[in-house]
């Protein structure tokens, strides 16, 4: 499914992120060389000034897609009122009023929209799906080639989830070939819904099942999306777990650092976590230059700053994740190892993990 009219499909990466401070800070500090290649999808659960201020601070060329499906049909949820360029995210069951509002936003900011098809929920069959998207195009006054399609597989957290999701996603991609989409992306989440059962004070390696699902779909020629370093299901996670935590993305896996060592100050505990991380084989040889998040983690390893907060840990983890995924997609080695970063020579990564 190449982009309509033979255009190069860009961007190459669509992370689905909550509009929390940590994720927004990671986007704000994204390397400008990557800005045109990543199109974040922000899931908005509440309208507040901080979200709009953060969008205004995004790097030039980075155009976020905004999903307000969790909000009621209120004037504040109409994206044309936000006063910032965004792409509306449209679900198959939106109300007529919201479709009209999304159409106005899409036409105001370059005639682009993203249609989000949830593999686990939108299962009415190909003919019903075609009827639904034709309704969207009619009410928004958009053409298929002005819309990107996101096939959202939800959480895939084990081999069985991957085996179940693959045929379901392929079935939806077969249906998608009926239409001239601007681009097609498959996204999934792979982070476990809770980390509280993992060991502490040692790095724990977890498989990135979302990445494995996309690799199995490589023959379909679709773009890649994920949920960053958090699970797809809303409301999951460890809200009561205040342990210093870094979720560090590597080739096909995450390394989760949760530090519970007692004694000393919290800053000392996080510094110990960061010293362990920067001495690991999965720490990039470009070090702090790899991403803003890596720079901040190295500062803490050298005791150059305080431990930060849960929002900071999410920001630094997400920043590294965005850079790692983009380098992997842009310059993969034969085993998927990233080999390039803007402004750097080809880095030599540490020994293979497997």
Each residue's pLDDT tens digit, 16-74: 999 999 999 999 999 998 888 999 999 998 888 888 889 999 998 899 999 999 999 99
| Residue 320's pLDDT band (cuts 50, 70, 90) | very high
Q: What pLDDT digit, counting tens, does each position of 60-107 carry? A: 889 999 999 999 999 999 999 998 999 999 999 999 999 999 999 999
| Domain membership flag for residue 103 | yes
Give domain status of residue 350, yes or no: no
Half-sphere exposure of 15 (CA within 13 A, CB side): 29
Residues ≥6 apart with Cβ < 8 Å to 303: 267, 271
User: What is the pTM (predicted TM-score) of this model?
Assistant: 0.89
Domains: count for the chain:
1
Flag the least confident range among 2-6, 119-123, 173-177, 273-277: 2-6
CATH number for the domain spanning 117: value is 3.20.20.10
Domain ranges, residue 194: 4-330
Average of per-residue pLDDT values in the chain = 87
d(CA 102, CA 108): 10
pLDDT of residue 346: 30
Q: Is the pLDDT of residue 316 over 80?
A: yes
Question: How many angstroms separate the CA atoms of 281 and 274, rounded?
Answer: 13
Is the residue at 190 inside a domain? yes
**pLDDT value at residue 50:** 83
Asked if the structure places residue 251 within a domain, the reply is yes
Closest CA to 66 of 97, 88, 99, 48: 88
Within a 13 Å sphere around the CA of 123, how many CA atoms are in the beta-carbon half?
Answer: 9
How far apart CA 228 and CA 249 sit, in angstroms, is 9
Q: Quick one: which H or E segment has residue 239? A: none
Within-domain flag for 339: no
Q: What is the DSSP letter of 73?
A: S
Decide if 15 is inside a domain.
yes
Instruction: Determine, yes or no, domain membership for 351.
Output: no
Residue 341 banded pLDDT, cuts 50, 70, 90: very low
Q: How far is CA 160 from CA 65, 156, 209, 278, 319, in A?
A: 31, 8, 10, 33, 29
Q: What per-residue confidence (pLDDT) applies to 80?
A: 94
pLDDT band at 331 (very low <50, low <70, confident <90, very high): confident
Better-scored residue on pLDDT, 315 or 336: 315
> Is residue 352, in this structure, part of any structural domain at all?
no
CA nearest neighbour of 139 among 180, 112, 104, 110? 104
Band of residue 333 on the pLDDT scale cut at 50, 70, 90: low
pLDDT on residue 276: 96
């Amino acid at each position: 499914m190449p982009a309509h009219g033979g255009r190069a499909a860009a961007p190459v990466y669509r992370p689905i992120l909550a509009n929390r401070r940590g994720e927004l800070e990671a986007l704000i500090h994204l390397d400008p060389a990557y800005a045109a290649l990543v199109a974040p999808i922000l899931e908005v659960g509440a309208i507040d000034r901080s979200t709009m201020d953060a969008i205004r601070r995004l790097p030039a060329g980075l155009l976020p897609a905004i999903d307000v499906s969790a909000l009621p049909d209120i004037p504040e949820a109409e994206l044309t009122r936000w006063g910032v360029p965004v792409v509306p995210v449209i679900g198959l069951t939106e109300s007529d009023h919201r479709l009209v509002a999304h159409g106005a936003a899409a036409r105001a900011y370059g005639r682009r929209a993203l249609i989000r098809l949830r593999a686990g929920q939108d299962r009415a069959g190909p003919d019903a799906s075609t009827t639904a998207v034709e309704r969207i195009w009619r009410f928004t006054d958009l053409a298929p080639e002005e819309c990107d399609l996101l096939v959202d597989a939800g959480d895939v957290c084990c081999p069985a989830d991957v085996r179940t999701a693959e045929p379901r996603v392929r079935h939806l991609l077969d249906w998608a070939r009926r239409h001239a989409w601007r681009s097609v992306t498959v996204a999934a989440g792979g982070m476990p819904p809770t980390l509280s059962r993992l060991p502490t004070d040692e790095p724990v390696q977890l498989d990135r099942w979302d990445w494995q699902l996309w690799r199995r779909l490589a023959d379909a020629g679709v773009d890649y999306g994920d949920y960053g370093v958090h699970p797809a299901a809303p409301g999951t996670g460890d809200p009561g777990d205040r342990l210093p935590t870094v979720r560090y993305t590597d080739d096909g896996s995450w390394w989760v650092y949760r530090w519970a060592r007692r004694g000393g100050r919290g800053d000392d505990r996080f510094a110990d976590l960061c010293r362990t991380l920067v001495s690991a084989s999965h720490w990039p040889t470009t070090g702090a230059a790899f991403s803003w998040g890596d720079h901040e983690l190295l500062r803490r390893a050298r005791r150059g700053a305080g431990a930060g907060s849960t929002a900071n840990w999410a920001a630094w983890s997400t920043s590294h994740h965005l850079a790692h995924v983009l380098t992997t997609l842009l310059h993969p080695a034969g085993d998927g190892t990233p080999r390039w970063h803007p402004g750097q020579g080809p880095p030599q990564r540490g020994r293979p993990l497997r």
